[in-house]
């Protein structure tokens, strides 16, 4: 009886693990963890690289290639912050789109230099492009950008790099340690349609 | 070891690994079909079925975009009770509701409704296929891959005679190798 049960239990375990992976770990709150705002993330992030921070916003987009990244905004998309999955987060489900989330994560800096841009360009020109390379803007349709568009983006980054006078450009994101959905805040501010 | 004993072991290994591997094989196969079609552009999203509908909305007469305006648009598509949030952008408004969103071009009132339906079970299967779990599951799936290799190799020697590896098996195995080799030669 036991030798028949063991393989059956093994298969049940596979299904159990696949369906019950915890996507919403409880955050370990520390008193001295800074709270960053989406609106000022770009200016504040350089001071928190590799440090834990809190950040909150509305999910505007989740990556459809495995759910490994999402973008949050706060009211409008003038600034969108990229959030990537950390080791303890399985994925960001597409069902999160439109939800307000409270995230504990580590600020990460991605340095874009000539070497990075060359490698990204080479990847784009391959028949099977990896979705792990390159910058993700979070804008609508960015995952379905044609190659011309991506090459234009690279060209623009090269120009920015040249005019910056530095050997690299810095882009910041947050690698999530944990997150939770929270009730939406009343962001009903009247926005004038230009 | 005698051939008879070897054959018994071969068949026993094939049988037992076959039983053990059936669950994950079905998971990877079904998920593979979905991801295959997703990669070739047949599906917009591997985890959700998505339907799109274009329609026209009136632009706010006072030029103000707010929750009331967003709810009014959702009312047009029968989703005002499922409102979640909205985000404005440069010339557009995106309204999120429980199972989708509406994207509005504020220059001309063109709107697109996106409704999504979860592919229950398949989206969990995709999670395994993408190895979202990482860490221990990477090794677990490596063990499964080795099991599949053993399954394939032991399968070659199950049958004897004209239906075995020295008979029709030889032709079918050769075809199974030559076809992907030709594909690789053409495209790689």
Mean pLDDT within B123-145: 89
Min Cα distance B167 → chain A (Å) is 34
Cβ contact A184–B24 (<8 Å)? no
Question: What residues form DSSP beta bridges with B93?
Answer: B88, B104
Closest by Cβ to B66, choosing from A64, A97, A191: A191
Residue A5: pLDDT over 70: no
Backbone angles phi, psi at A57, to 5 degrees: 180, 180
Encoded tokens for A34: 């800074």
Measured between beta carbons, the chain A residues lying within 8 angstroms of B135 are 87
CB contact set of B45 (below 8 Å; sequence gap of 6+):
A64, A94, B38, B116
Question: What residues form DSSP beta bridges with A105?
Answer: A53, A176
Q: What gap in Å lies between CA B86 and CA B52, rounded to an integer? A: 18
Residue A14: pLDDT over 70: no
Residue A38: pLDDT over 70: yes
- Helix, strand or coil, per DSSP, at residue A84: strand
Beta strands B48-56 and A52-62, pairing class: unpaired
Q: Could you read off the pLDDT of A69-121 as tens digits, one per residue?
A: 999 998 888 889 999 999 889 999 999 999 999 999 999 999 988 888 888 88
Chain B touched by A10 (CB under 8 Å): yes
Instruction: Give CA angle at A41 (A36, A47), nearest 5°.
Output: 80
Closest chain A residue to the Cα of B102, Cα to Cα = A98
Distance, first Cα to last Cα, chain B: 43
Min Cα distance A136 → chain B (Å) is 17
Q: What gap in Å lies between CA B118 and CA A163, rounded to an integer? A: 46
Min Cα distance B171 → chain A (Å) is 32
Chain B touched by A77 (CB under 8 Å): yes
Measured between beta carbons, the chain B residues lying within 8 angstroms of A7 are 16, 19-20
Beta strands A34-36 and A52-62, pairing class: parallel
Cβ contact A7–B27 (<8 Å)? no
What percent of chain B is modeled with pLDDT above 70?
99
Query: For residue A119, what pLDDT is reported?
Result: 87
DSSP structural state of residue B130 = T
Question: What residues form DSSP beta bridges with A176?
Answer: A85, A105
A3-7, A88-92, B179-183: segment of lowest average pLDDT: A3-7
Q: How confident is the model at residue B64 (pLDDT cuts 50, 70, 90)?
A: confident
- Helix, strand or coil, per DSSP, at residue A74: strand
Residue B29: pLDDT over 90: yes
Q: How confident is the model at residue A126 (pLDDT cuts 50, 70, 90)?
A: confident
Question: What residues form DSSP beta bridges with B51?
Answer: B115
Cβ contact B124–A19 (<8 Å)? yes
Beta strands A100-112 and B48-56, pairing class: unpaired
Closest chain B residue to the Cα of A74, Cα to Cα = B87
Q: How confident is the model at residue A25 (pLDDT cuts 50, 70, 90)?
A: very low
Residue A187: pLDDT over 70: no
Residue A150: pLDDT over 90: no
Closest by Cβ to B46, choosing from A64, A68, A188: A64
Q: Please give the residue that has the higher pLDDT: either B100 or A122.
A: B100
Query: For residue A135, what pLDDT is reported?
Result: 74
Query: For residue A26, what pLDDT is reported?
Result: 42
Chain B touched by A21 (CB under 8 Å): yes
Mean pLDDT within A18-30: 47
Query: For residue B188, what pLDDT is reported?
Result: 78
Q: How confident is the model at residue A153 (pLDDT cuts 50, 70, 90)?
A: confident
A172-181, B94-103, B134-143: segment of lowest average pLDDT: B134-143
Min Cα distance B67 → chain A (Å) is 6
Backbone angles phi, psi at B54, to 5 degrees: -95, 140
Measured between beta carbons, the chain A residues lying within 8 angstroms of B87 are 58, 60, 73, 75-77
Residues in chain A, total: 194
Q: How confident is the model at residue A189 (pLDDT cuts 50, 70, 90)?
A: low
Of A172, A42, A58, A160, residue with least CA distance to A105: A172
Q: How confident is the model at residue A24 (pLDDT cuts 50, 70, 90)?
A: very low
DSSP structural state of residue A95 = G
Residue A186: pLDDT over 90: no
DSSP structural state of residue B159 = -
Question: What does the CA dihedral B136, B137, B141, B146 come to, rounded to 10 degrees?
Answer: 10
Query: For residue A152, what pLDDT is reported?
Result: 86
Residue A133: pLDDT over 70: no
Q: What gap in Å lies between CA B20 and CA B154, rounded to an integer? A: 15
Chain A touched by B135 (CB under 8 Å): yes
Residues in chain B, total: 188
Mean pLDDT within A142-158: 81
Mean pLDDT within B10-34: 94
Helical spans, DSSP H, in A60-131: 114-124
Q: What gap in Å lies between CA A10 and CA B188, rounded to an integer? A: 39
What percent of chain A is modeled with pLDDT above 70?
72
Closest chain B residue to the Cα of A93, Cα to Cα = B47
Chain A touched by B115 (CB under 8 Å): no
Number of H helices and E strands in chain A, helices first, is: 4, 7
Task: Write b or e for each residue in B65-97: b if 16 or more Cβ atoms lie within 10 A of its Cβ, otherwise e.
Answer: bbbebbbebbeebebeeebbbbbbbeebbbbbb
Chain B touched by A15 (CB under 8 Å): yes
Query: For residue A149, what pLDDT is reported?
Result: 80
Measured between beta carbons, the chain A residues lying within 8 angstroms of B90 are 77-78
**Cβ atoms of residues B168 and B162 within 8 Å:** yes
Q: Please give the residue that has the higher pLDDT: either A11 or B159.
A: B159
Q: How confident is the model at residue B131 (pLDDT cuts 50, 70, 90)?
A: confident
Query: For residue A23, what pLDDT is reported?
Result: 46
Question: What residues form DSSP beta bridges with B103?
Answer: B94, B112
Cβ contact A190–B94 (<8 Å)? no
Cβ contact B127–A140 (<8 Å)? no
Beta strands B92-97 and A169-182, pairing class: unpaired
Query: CA-CA distances (angstroms) from residue A88 to A63, A81, A182, B98?
Result: 17, 20, 20, 26
Average pLDDT, chain A: 81
Chain B touched by A86 (CB under 8 Å): no
Chain B touched by A88 (CB under 8 Å): no
């Amino acid at each position: 009886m036991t030798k028949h049960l063991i393989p059956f239990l093994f298969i049940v375990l596979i299904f159990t693990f696949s369906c019950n992976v915890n996507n919403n770990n409880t955050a370990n709150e520390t008193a001295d963890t800074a709270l960053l705002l989406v609106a000022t993330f770009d200016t504040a992030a350089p001071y928190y690289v590799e440090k834990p921070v809190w950040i909150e916003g509305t999910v505007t987009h989740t990556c459809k290639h495995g759910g490994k990244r999402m973008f949050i905004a706060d009211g409008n998309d003038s600034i969108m912050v990229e959030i990537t999955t950390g080791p303890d987060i399985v994925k960001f489900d597409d069902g999160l789109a439109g939800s307000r989330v409270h995230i504990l994560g580590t600020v990460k800096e991605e340095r874009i230099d000539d070497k990075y841009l060359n490698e990204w360009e080479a990847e784009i020109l391959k028949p099977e492009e990896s979705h792990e390379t390159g910058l993700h803007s979070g804008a609508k349709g960015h995952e379905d950008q044609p190659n011309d568009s991506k090459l234009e983006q690279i060209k623009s980054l090269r120009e920015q790099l040249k005019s910056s006078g530095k050997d690299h450009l810095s882009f910041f994101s947050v690698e999530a340690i944990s997150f939770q959905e929270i009730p939406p805040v009343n962001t009903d501010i009247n926005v004038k349609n230009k | 070891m005698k051939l008879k004993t070897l054959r018994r072991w071969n068949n026993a290994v094939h049988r037992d690994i076959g039983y053990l591997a059936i669950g994950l094989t079905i998971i990877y196969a079904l998920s593979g079909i979905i991801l295959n079609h997703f990669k070739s552009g047949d599906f917009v999203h591997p985890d959700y079925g998505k339907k799109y509908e274009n329609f026209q909305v009136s632009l706010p007469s006072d030029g103000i975009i707010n929750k009331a305006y967003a709810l009014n648009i959702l009312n047009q598509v029968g989703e005002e009770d499922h409102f979640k949030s909205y985000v404005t952008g440069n010339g557009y408004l995106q309204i999120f509701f429980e199972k989708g969103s509406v994207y509005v071009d504020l220059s001309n009132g063109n709107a697109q409704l996106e409704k999504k339906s979860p592919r229950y079970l398949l989206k969990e299967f995709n999670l395994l296929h993408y190895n979202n779990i990482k860490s221990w599951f990477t090794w677990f799936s490596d063990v499964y891959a080795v099991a599949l290799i053993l399954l394939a190799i032991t399968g070659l020697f199950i049958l004897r005679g004209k239906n075995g590896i020295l008979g029709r098996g030889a032709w079918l195995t050769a075809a199974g190798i030559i076809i992907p080799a030709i594909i690789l030669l053409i495209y790689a």
